[in-house]
Amino acid sequence: MKLQVEKFVTGPIETNSYVLSNDAGAAIVFDPSTGCDAIIDYLKENGLTLEAVCLTHGHFDHFMGTPELVAAFPQAEVWIHKDEAFMLRDPEYNGSYMLGGEFKYEGPLKEYEEGSVTMGSFTFEVLLIGGHSPGGSALIIDIHCFSGDALFAGSVGRTDFPGCDASLLFTNIKEKLFNLPEETIVYPGHMGRTTIGREKRMNPFF
């Protein structure tokens, strides 16, 4: 089945939010930050059914738009790794206190683990890429990898937040992400997309 990925830049620190859809009209949104009007319009204008909101990790800028999407599409499930779910309820760990306030998401959650997981019409391979956050994950489907804040084009995620581990992050990227096919397209949480092959050859951290 043909897959399509559209990027939207949302929230106070320009987070990449992605809409993954198939030609049957099903969709998943990854990492929605605040200001999701354009995402909601895109889904409705294209007749897409939002089946899930998938969070790669629990930092505030990757989930603050979740209530907007759930309000517009009440059938959508919200997914996050089991080791990351607590962050949605804890402003110290999700970082929202840095905005001068506290943000929590206390709605229903479904939890995924490393391995295969099916969300609505989509089945992903989940790689646990802890280091930027305890349960930060990359989700892979076909040639598409949604890497959250683990791996960027020419960079890696920060490791100076609570729950970070720089050594673990580097190990996970080298032993897990860099074992994906080189043509795998990486959709990071900020900045532009890249490929696994490009990062193996050109990322200065490796």
* Contact between 189 and 149 (Cβ < 8 Å): yes
More reliable by pLDDT, 184 or 163: 184
Tens digits of per-residue pLDDT, 23-33?
Answer: 999 999 999 99
All domains of the chain in start order, with CATH = 3-202 (3.60.15.10)
DSSP assignments along the chain, one per residue: --EEEEEEEETTTTEEEEEEEETTSEEEEES--S--HHHHHHHHHTT-EEEEEE-SS--GGGTTTHHHHHHH-TT-EEEEETTTGGGGG-HHHH-GGGGTS-----S--EEE-SEEEEETTEEEEEEE-TTSSTT-EEEEETTEEEEETSEETTEE----STT--HHHHHHHHHHTGGGS-TTPEEEESSS--EEHHHHHHH-TT-
Cα(51)–Cα(128) distance, integer angstroms = 23
| Pair 136, 114: CB distance under 8 Å | no
- Tell me, what's the pLDDT at 102? 87
- Across 164-174, average pLDDT: 94
8 Å CB contact between 169 and 129: yes
Report the 10 Å Cβ neighbour count for 100. Answer: 6
Task: Provide mean pLDDT across the span 192-203.
Answer: 98
Q: Mean pLDDT over residues 74-89, rounded?
A: 96
Bridge partners of 79?
54, 110
Tokens of 33: 């930050």
Q: What is the pTM of this model?
A: 0.96
Whether 171 shows a pLDDT value over 90: the answer reads: yes
Q: Are residues 196 and 184 in contact, defined by beta-carbon separation less than 8 angstroms? A: yes
* Stretch 121-135: mean pLDDT: 96
Best CA proximity match to 114, nearest among 145, 133, 135, 94? 135
